[in-house]
Amino acid sequence: MNSLWSDAEAAQFSGPLGPRVYSSRLLGRDKSLVLHGGGNTSVKLREQNAFGEDEEVLYVKGSGWDLETIEPAGFAPVALGYVRRLAGLERLSDPRMVNELATHLLRAGAPAPSVETILHAILPHRYVDHTHADAVLSICNAPQGERRVREIYGDRVVVIPYIMAGFDLAAYCAREFPKQAGPNTIGMVLLSHGVFSFGADARESYERMIRLVSMAEEHLASKGAWRVSPPAAAPSPVKRDEIARLRRAIADCAGFPVVLAANDSPKFLGFARHPEVARISQRGPATPDHVIRTKPLPMLGRDVTAFAASYRAYFERHAARAAEKKTMLDPAPRMALDPELGFVAAGRTAKDAAIVAELYDHTIDVILRAEALGGWQALEERHIFDIEYWDLEQAKLKKAGTPPAFGGEVALVTGAASGIGKACAEAFLKRGAAVVGLDRNPAIEKLFTRPDYLGITCDLTEVRAVETALDAAVKRFGGLDMLVLNAGMFPSSQPIASLADDAWRRAMTVNVEASLIVMRAAHPVLRLAPRGGRVVVIGSKNVPAPGPGAAAYSASKAALNQLARVAALEWAKDGMRVNTIHPNAVYDTALWTDEVLAARAKAYNLTVEQYKRNNLLKTEVSSRDVAELAAEMCGPLFAKTTGAQVPVDGGTEKLV
């Protein structure tokens, strides 16, 4: 491991916290050190209070901040003297500790201090860094881990046995650190937890961390345990309805929808096919910080029914434990391994599932390296339960509150690169859904940069292209819950007498056949949606009230409307509902070019401006108006409605 320190980069970070911010970000860049909010850093400064008196202040990373992107505001300032005194108490409950830290913050609006704040306070060094380095964890979780750690580091580190983070750990370190520390001490190893380094300045503390981790890597390399990889494995073709059935089984047991991300990369698939996977995958996480997100499920195999039974037993065991301790049942993400699927991660959101996958990617490295040292061994189950039902974890569950309306659900929107389709994608994302956007425009792929969005360039008139897109969607998110059929085209205005055959066929192909292809392919997955599949068809005012010069468009939209009505009849038995929105005069879409507007206005003997305002309410209808109704139609307000046709047009005289 090499130092990433750059004096030129460091100079860009000014102010008292500048060096602390910079070195924290350096640690956060390396995912083998910290992942997704893990790790911790602090600095001790002297500042003047309102009376002009000097005070010692500990700035420690605040809750909710990630080292890779932390700003000065991400550090919580606490009164150092008071926090140090807390370590001398005989006992202090963790909830009381959190309260004491919160009431001794020195800046209004600062984030909550880390639960390891007291531990940072008692270390007699200005800068303190804490990571969960993969290399160190591999050694700690191998046979005779403590002995190996002491042999590698000698008097360079203080070695602390595993104690759950919180007051007890800080109090133990306050007593033990002075006994072990000497002039050569540059760090501290918390067995099965992580590694600390410290120094007089940011660079010294950071580069000591790099040195300590490098020593662990060198030890692994000397034992042939550094460059390890699972057995080579080629992916097997997996039907998307199998993944969707698995997602449904997990959701039924958990009691809420989940996003299920499947990963059959060589690394994950090879690990799932490891000859000892049943043993090494069921022993717990690489570090306590990963317990909540990487609790392993039973091995999946190919029998989803059998897996569902195993999952239900697993969930009931945790429910019994929660009842015994009178605590909330943890609804955190889960993961499972399967020799065909590879790895699957379940989470309340796509972000949660993505975090699980990244954490387990590193866990595989830790496990295999520990195996190469003689055998992977993790925390005892009692420690894992203690963390799951820790007072502070319970507080997080209570604070989390009600999940978003479409949390754990997946929406697919066609024609999503612009106009109504893009607005629909935004509306569903806002409500917590993962969204798959399909469009011929390659811009669809970069429409949103976030883990809960997947954009796919796709010609919806091509059956194979649609099938491939659905495979990718289900592999990424586990299934489909909602489908918005928005893609369409508005041919140039032509009277029937001069309507070209190609224009007619193109309108029918894009506006009707493409939607049929998508509906037909999506049905087997939609019917497995935990809350029932929902389809919203974006129709047109031209269905009930066609206009001259729009024969191809009006007829194709009328055919689509009939298709939706038949789907409502046929799919009701699967608990699915199909409803249609008839927008009109939505001018912020690609359909309404200047040429089309001029032609339509001329057909009605109106100016373009008159045509734009040609509704009863004299109001403008936007893409967002249509999108918001589309999202609401997939929500509880329309839970008992199917086959409906709802206008969004400002009022049309012909229809009223």
Q: Where are the domains of the chain?
A: 7-222, 240-400, 410-586+621-648
Amino acid at 138: S
Confidence of residue 294 (pLDDT cuts 50, 70, 90): very low
Amino acid at 401: G
Write b or e for each residue in 359-393: b if 16 or more Cβ atoms lie within 10 A of its Cβ, otherwise e. bbbbbbbbbbbbbbbeebbbbeeebbbbbbbbeeb
* CA 586 to chain centroid: 34
Nearest to 554 by CA among 488, 653, 626, 650: 488
Which burial class, exposed, middle or buried, applies to 358 when counting CB atoms under 10 A from its CB (0-12, 13-18, 19+)? middle
Whether 413 contacts 460, CB under 8 Å: no
Which burial class, exposed, middle or buried, applies to 22 when counting CB atoms under 10 A from its CB (0-12, 13-18, 19+)? buried
Helix axis angle, 381-388 to 304-324, nearest 10°: 70
The pLDDT of residue 299:
46
* 553 given a catalytic annotation: yes
Whether 377 contacts 191, CB under 8 Å: no
**Helices (H), ranges, 71-133:** 80-86, 94-102, 117-122
Model confidence at 184: pLDDT above 60: yes
The pLDDT of residue 234:
83
What are 233-245's pLDDT values in tens digits? 888 777 888 889 8
**How many Å is the Cα radius of gyration of the chain?**
30
SS3 473: helix
* Phi and psi at residue 385, to the nearest 5°: -60, -40
Across the range 327-348, mean pLDDT stands at: 73
Model confidence at 300: pLDDT above 70: no
Model confidence at 592: pLDDT above 80: no
Confidence of residue 307 (pLDDT cuts 50, 70, 90): low
Confidence of residue 594 (pLDDT cuts 50, 70, 90): confident
SS3 537: strand
The pLDDT of residue 323:
62
What are 259-280's pLDDT values in tens digits? 999 999 999 999 988 988 888 8
Whether 413 contacts 486, CB under 8 Å: yes
Across the range 76-82, mean pLDDT stands at: 96
The pLDDT of residue 298:
46
The pLDDT of residue 480:
98
The pLDDT of residue 523:
98
How many angstroms separate the CA atoms of 50 and 425, rounded? 50
pTM of the predicted model as reported, rounded to 2 decimal places: 0.86
Q: Which two tokens stand for residue 46?
A: 């002297």
Model confidence at 293: pLDDT above 50: no
DSSP at 108: T
Model confidence at 56: pLDDT above 60: yes
Model confidence at 290: pLDDT above 60: no
What are 424-478's pLDDT values in tens digits? 999 999 999 999 999 999 999 999 999 999 999 999 999 999 999 999 999 999 9
Model confidence at 509: pLDDT above 60: yes
**Helices (H), ranges, 89-156:** 94-102, 117-122, 134-140, 145-153
Handedness of CA 490, 492, 494, 500 (dihedral sign): negative
Model confidence at 383: pLDDT above 70: no
Nearest to 408 by CA among 345, 494, 364: 345
CB within 8 Å of 26: residues ≥ 6 apart = 4, 5, 206
Average pLDDT taken over every residue of the chain: 89
State the architecture of 410-586+621-648 in CATH terms: 3-Layer(aba) Sandwich (3.40)
CB within 8 Å of 94: residues ≥ 6 apart = 115, 166, 167, 390, 391, 392
Whether 270 contacts 421, CB under 8 Å: no
Q: What is the CATH number of domain 7-222?
A: 3.40.225.10
Confidence of residue 315 (pLDDT cuts 50, 70, 90): low
Confidence of residue 319 (pLDDT cuts 50, 70, 90): low
The pLDDT of residue 389:
46
What are 156-182's pLDDT values in tens digits? 999 999 998 889 999 999 999 999 999
Nearest to 441 by CA among 464, 467, 423, 422: 422
* CA 452 to chain centroid: 7
The pLDDT of residue 317:
63
How many angstroms separate the CA atoms of 298 and 316, rounded? 13
Catalytic residue among 153, 360, 553, 611: 553
What are 25-52's pLDDT values in tens digits? 999 999 999 987 689 999 999 999 999 9
The pLDDT of residue 314:
63
How many angstroms separate the CA atoms of 313 and 317, rounded? 6
Model confidence at 345: pLDDT above 70: yes
